[in-house]
Amino acid sequence: MSAVSTPCIKVCVIDAASKLCEGCGRTLAEIAQWGGLSETERRAIMAALPERLRKASSEPPRHARA
């Protein structure tokens, strides 16, 4: 049996503002469904994670937004 592809880096903290894992960039729903996704679905999500994390880190904190 082959290993499941995962972006997990063992930094499992969900950011309150973005609702994304600060380590990998996945949502809680994606994390929960991960084992049931096809390799193609997992790879599609993983391809979007760097941009997702970049956007989340560049947004000002909610209390600072106008």
- pLDDT tens column, 8-42: 999 999 999 999 999 999 999 999 999 999 999 99
Query: Is 51 among the domain residues?
Result: yes
Q: Is residue 66 one of the residues assigned to a domain? A: no
The answer as to whether 53 is a domain residue is yes
Sign, Cα dihedral of 28, 15, 6, 45: positive
- 36 domain-assigned: yes
Contact partners, residue 37, CB within 8 Å, separation at least 6: 45
Query: Domain tally for the chain?
Result: 1
Q: Domain range holding 19?
A: 8-60
19 lies in some domain? yes
pTM: predicted TM-score of the whole model, two decimal places: 0.81
29 in any annotated domain: yes
Q: How confident is the model at residue 59 (pLDDT cuts 50, 70, 90)?
A: confident
Q: Is the pLDDT of residue 62 over 80?
A: no
